[in-house]
A = this chain, B = another copy of it.
């Protein structure tokens, strides 16, 4: 059994009201792998980088159980680069620059050794690339989870809708859920999206937590109230990594276990935002994760006697 993760591995340059980073390591699949590696091994990565991507970073991932056979290295090209600036509320940001580079003509190839995939995490990427990975799997994975973003709704909606019919769980943020469904109410948006393919829908609301919808059930996980959100970059991917990592570890894809997985994802995301980029994720210990999970239990625990 294994977890396969698809997504970008890239460079970011980030400005927040609290500071400015150099060109640092980023990319959806990088965050997902760092986060998930706290729960399960191996993680079989599918991505593409340029010759400029540091070997030391690949080694660091490998040392955490991330297999890189599916990561193409295009020596003469440059890695994907994104730079952006966050506003004070940290929920909105401006993209300053996007260089697609190696992502422009990315054709993923699923290695034979990845064919035992039980859990497939499709990080945010061109929908056609996500579909290609699903189609290369000889046996359908037990669970396919897909992240995406508004950008693809605007330029590749037909492909995106096609991929939706192939996945079990969709993860989007609140504005993306509204855009995809043309509904303002998140409950109505969820009901509509659940007719488009996925059986489970996670709506991420940043500092306002996350909702999980399935049939007529809904579960809400808060975000941990933090003194400072230093850099929200990658928080959604880190959430995804904790979610799929917990499911892959426990091999239980019930609704109840997905609730727990969402709390795991929320806990991981609460670390991610404490420092620039992936830095905090490279440092956390099992003990710190457990302490944070206890904070989540404290945060929402209440007693009601229904008489």
Task: Using A186-B225, A225-B187 as known contacts, say yes or no to A220 and B304 having CB atoms under 8 A apart.
Answer: no
- Are the CB atoms of A88 and B222 closer together than 8 Å? no
Q: Which residues of B contact A262 (CB under 8 A)?
A: 302
The one of B228, B298, B301 that contacts A185, using a Cβ cutoff of 8 Å = B228
User: Which residues from B are CB-within-8-Å of A259?
Assistant: 301-303
Residues of B within 8 A of A301 (CB): 259
Closest to A257 in B: B303
Contact with B along A287-307 (1 / 0, CB 8 A): 000100110111111111010
Asked whether A300 lies within 8 Å of B220 as measured between CB atoms, the reply is yes
Query: Does chain B have a CB within 8 A of A60?
Result: no
A interface residues, tally (CB under 8 Å): 40
- Residue A106 interfacial (CB < 8 Å): no
A142: chain B residues within 8 A (beta carbon):
none
Judging by beta carbons under 8 Å apart, are B184 and A303 in contact? no
Q: Do B188 and A263 touch across chains, with their CB atoms under 8 A apart? A: no
Instruction: Name A's B-contacting residues (CB within 8 A).
Output: 88-89, 184-188, 205, 208-209, 211, 217-222, 225-229, 256, 259-260, 262-263, 290, 293-294, 296-304, 306
